[in-house]
Amino acid sequence: MIKTAHGTLILAAALLTSGCVSSIVTAPFKAAGTVIETAVDATTQTQQEADEDRGKRLRMAEKNEEKLRKKCAKDPEHESCDTLAELERERALIKRRDD
């Protein structure tokens, strides 16, 4: 009876700790996977993020262009007028290409 109880106790202990052992063994691999996934997420950009970045760049460009227009309106001989004319030519080329 003692041998049976002892054997049952060992079997039960082995079954109970097997989950712990497997957790300990697989934990470093799970952690490494999480680190890799995080690194990949940090280096990739979703379409939404790309669209937001493009919108931000366009707004900044429009703001800078408006500053150039104001400078050019005050002084038509200012170099900003040349820059503004160049920007308008580039925009016309892009618009023709997109159409």
Sorted by where each begins, the domain ranges of the chain are: 1-44, 48-99
Residue 53 and residue 66: Cα distance in Å, rounded? 20
Query: Which SS3 state, helix, strand or coil, does residue 71 take?
Result: helix
Residue 99 and residue 46: Cα distance in Å, rounded? 26
Pair 75, 66: CB distance under 8 Å: no
Using the predicted structure, report yes or no on whether residue 80 has a pLDDT greater than 60. Answer: yes
pLDDT at 1: 47
**pLDDT tens-digit profile of 14-72?**
555 555 555 555 655 566 566 666 666 667 778 888 889 888 988 888 898 898 889 88
The pLDDT confidence band at residue 9, using thresholds 50, 70 and 90, is low
Please give the model's pTM, rounded to 2 decimal places.
Answer: 0.46
